[in-house]
Amino acid sequence: MQCKIDDTKFDYEGFALVRKLDGIDEQGKIRTKEENGRKKEDVILTMEPAQNVPTSCTVYDKDGKVIVTAADIAELHGKTFSAKQDWFREQCLKLRTSWEDEHTFIFIRRTHLIEDSVLGIMMLEPHQLRNMFRFEFIGEPGIDAGGVAREWFEVVSQQLFHPDAGLWQYSAVNQMCMQINASSGLANENHLHYFRFTGRFLGKALFDGQLVASHLIRHIYKHMLGWPLMFADIEMIDDNVFRSLMMLGDIEDVEDLCLDFSVMESEMGMNRTVDLIPDGADVDVTNDNLKLFLEKSLEYRINTRVQAQLKQLLLGFYEVMPEALLTVFDFQELELMCCGLPHFDLEDWKVNTEYLGQYESKKTAHKVVAWFWEVVEEWDEELKARLMQFVTGTSGVPAQGFAYLQGNDGNIRKFAINSISKSSSLYPRAHTCFNRIDLPLYDSKQELHDKVKLAVQMEATGFDIE
């Protein structure tokens, strides 16, 4: 007797969407169309089921010659992060325009840092973005031998991503991460121009091996890579919305909640209704259409709500960085590429960790906790960063140290280790809203090492390892 699968139920863990940019060819050229006698970009950003979006694995140089193939990409997937980085840098050097052929000078006034930077970068043609840049702060003597460029990337990212600029805002879950401000147009009427600049800025930083001072929310890195976005990605955007939507799957009759296919948005103290489907406010959510409601809710949170800004960000990014060149990385590695490997003060980390469950009374004297810290101490900085990404959602650590980690309510919420039985889970589980790892009561240090290492490395795949 065969068991019939209920395909009317929403698959919270398996359903995935991938962004699709229609209007960019394999060589990164953007399609245009004539409109009122002027050329206008003709690019459409949509979200499609993951299985419907092909991935390009071919990279071309400026002359149209293939320098990276699918076979090259496949060979890199089994390599270490360090090996991938080295390969990536080699390909960027192949794509860079030599100094003798063409180079670019960028002049900036410190008093008008962002305005001058936007003007200097946005006046360039896409092919010029791969030139070697030389920066000069007007009125300040000095030759840019690399130090001025590093400073420019650092100070621009500090101001560009600061909430006061109105383009980005803190993640509702982790204030080490920045997410797109859906109301950015109210703060800056040229906000889309600035998001295009932001894309070019991030792409140029990666291309030149420079670091930016701000960490982005996880799903932005996934968009940049063309990775599947899962329902769990909503949690990093708004954990209250995430929990509410998760509970709908357990309700016997969803009609009792009087929901419809719309959401309420608040802008400058004013509320407005946004339809998830045409005339959504007039369509009630029922058990029969709940699956569609959840699919549209995911699409709205990860794309539609900030679609205009996201499209410009991605277009600017791909004007510098060939999309296929990044396919060797996962989204956690992309964050490390953009922001660098942080330095972890293990003593500060241990001192500012809270212990729960069976670990609470003995703390670091508990044998499993002791094994945990011994294992972490043996790891290199990359694995420590992946552990932080696994537990908190980002590799970033506050400048003041682990004592200032924040939770989803904006209050201090330290790194926490909670005990769970092996019967409930063989692998550790993360609760990013609370900066907490549920660590099973392992029987040996080797078992702990193997299970924790696999968990933090598998986090980027999106697959369950139970």
From residue 412, how far is each of 165, 175, 239, 438 by CA, in Å? 25, 11, 17, 19
C-alpha–C-alpha distance, residues 312 and 190, integer Å: 12
Cα radius of gyration rounded to whole Å, the chain: 23
C-alpha–C-alpha distance, residues 243 and 255, integer Å: 18
CB 157 within 8 A of CB 113: no
Residue type, 177: C
Residue 379 DSSP code = S
57 in catalytic set? no
Q: Which of 57, 177, 339, 433 is catalytic?
A: 433
Tokens standing for residue 229: 């976005």
Q: Decide: helix, strand or coil at residue 227.
A: coil
C-alpha–C-alpha distance, residues 355 and 50, integer Å: 39
Classify burial at 117, counting beta carbons within 10 Å of its beta carbon; exposed 0-12, middle 13-18, buried 19 or more.
buried
C-alpha–C-alpha distance, residues 385 and 394, integer Å: 8
Query: E-strand spans in 57-117?
Result: 59-60, 66-68, 103-108
The count of other CB atoms within 10 Å of the CB of residue 62 is: 12
Residue 105 backbone dihedrals phi, psi, to 5 degrees = -105, 135
Instruction: Please identify every residue annotated as catalytic.
Output: 433
